[in-house]
Chain A
Amino acid sequence: MIVEIRDEVVTLSGTLRRNRWATLQSAVNVRLRHHPAGIVVDCGGLQLLTPEGARTFRDAAQHIVAGGGRIVLANVPPEVMQVLRQTPNLGSQLPIAATVADARASLGLEISRPRSVAGGGTGTAVAAGLLGTEADSHAVAMACRLAYSMQATVYLIYLLVVPRNKPLLAALGDQEEAARGALERLEAAVRTARLRPAPRVERTRDPAGRLVAVASEVRADAITLALPPGSSEELNALAEAVLARADCDVVINRLPAPQSGAVPAAPVLIAGGGRH
């Protein structure tokens, strides 16, 4: 199981076969000191939960509630939900929210509202997802265009995808160097456009999920992504996932092939906007 903790959100991914509360307890305690209202557990990346693993949530809930806080689960996959429901004294007692934003709202941390720039909103942040392709500068240009009228911060979120056969914090040499270089250049470009950049590298195994999570965390009003001509199925699937999962506006910029009139090799997939 992989655990990522940011502010009051604990993100779990992989498999949870055993009771891991003892491992998580100290980190959760630190979070609770900063966020006494409680914590959100984002289960979106959980691929497998066993009844023994589900006891992690039972012990966590007992501990957190005893301290006066709350625990709210979010993005629970159907198969994980099934195991939770079958676990005695757990499924019916654990508060479960559809999204992390809803869970945070439930903890009184924010008002859950769709964030939008397309409707002429007065937002404060636009997140450009950077995928390490030649189209990244278009994503930033689009973000700047959306951010300009409201002088919003442009978050430059470089998604550094870590292969599953390596630890999440493994050194990635050239890729990290490329990420740093790209971010420096794009950060300077955003400054040149007289906007405030906020660059960050996100190491992840789930780039779409991470981008959506960071955008939600920084309260971005829009996410921009750019797909190069003839983009791969992998990139199209990523765009589809962001369209489906983001709780703010999403703008996908598909670039034309250099020769006007050429049909791209791979289709741009479209996903619905249903909340999870």
Chain B
Amino acid sequence: MPEWIAHPEEWGVAALVAAVAMIGIFVLLRLILGGARSLRGTAAAALPAKQYQRVLLPASPETGYSEEVVSLACRLAGSGGHAAAAIVLTYVIEVPRALAPNAEMPEEEAAAQRVLDEAAASVKRCGLQPIIRIRKARGVLEGTLRAIGEEKADLLVLMVPSGSISPNSPSPAASLTRELARRAPCEVVLARTAAALV
């Protein structure tokens, strides 16, 4: 039996020594476990930030916009603690070669405005501010590629058109999407929603 047990006047000192010892063990354990955690932390891969400045959503008479593509673009543009990206909605009107490049095309421009206004309303519902642009070009592909450069877009969001698209018999919309994905000089997100399956 330890000698101090027989001396009640020393019990306080013993309790103090025990408390200090327990605190020491506790601090030591925290240091060891904390160190292990930080070691594991250094093994974590640094995920790409995926912070974009300008997200471009192109539309044309062939493709238009879907609620899903706007929703996806909003998620990708969303802040995540940083400044949210601008969402640029652009609609390319194809101008026939018989007309001047900047010829007025009131019907097409009105249709484009309707499509863009609708998409812009969806973007605003996500809490983001859209930028809308109507462009004219000889071809939708070249017009969209030019828009990527001029708008300084760092992300192009494309929706795979619904329906079966065989590389051997692609629809015009599918061909356009494929070419854009292939030639865009920026990062591309190509999406197909489950809704397209129904």
Contact = CB atoms under 8 A, between A and B. Distances in A.
A192 B68 contact: no
Contact of B195 (A116, A191, A251): A116
B42 to A, nearest CB: 9
Nearest to A267: B182
- A interface bracket (residues with beta carbon within 8 Å of B): 35 or more
Given A252-B189, A272-B166, A263 B183 contact: yes
B53 interface: no
A146 B44 contact: no
A261 B194 contact: no
Contact of A267 (B41, B80, B178, B194): B178
Interface stretch (B12-20, B71-79, B99-107): B71-79
Interface in A170-212: 182, 184-186, 188-189, 191-193
Nearest to B194: A114
A145 B76 contact: yes
Nearest to A266: B182
A255 interface: yes
A188 B189 contact: no
Contacts of A255: 187
B193 A119 contact: yes
Contacts of A120: 71
A254 B180 CA distance: 11
Contacts of A192: 41, 44, 47
B193 A141 contact: no
A14 to B, nearest CB: 26
A148 B81 CA distance: 12
A273 B160 contact: yes
Interface string A57-88: 00000000000000000000000000000000
Interface string B36-55: 00001101111111100000
B190 interface: yes
A115 B44 contact: no
Contact of A251 (B41, B181, B189, B197): B189
Given A118-B72, A270-B160, A271-B165, 9 more contacts: A114-B193, A118-B75, A221-B194, A255-B187, A256-B187, A263-B183, A267-B182, A270-B181, A274-B163
27 contacts: A114-B193, A116-B193, A117-B75, A137-B47, A138-B48, A140-B45, A144-B47, A145-B50, A145-B76, A149-B78, A185-B43, A185-B45, A186-B47, A188-B40, A192-B44, A246-B192, A250-B192, A251-B191, A252-B189, A252-B191, A256-B187, A260-B185, A268-B190, A271-B165, A272-B161, A272-B166, A273-B197
Interface of B: 40-41, 43-50, 67-69, 71-72, 75-76, 78, 80, 160-167, 170, 174, 177-178, 181-198
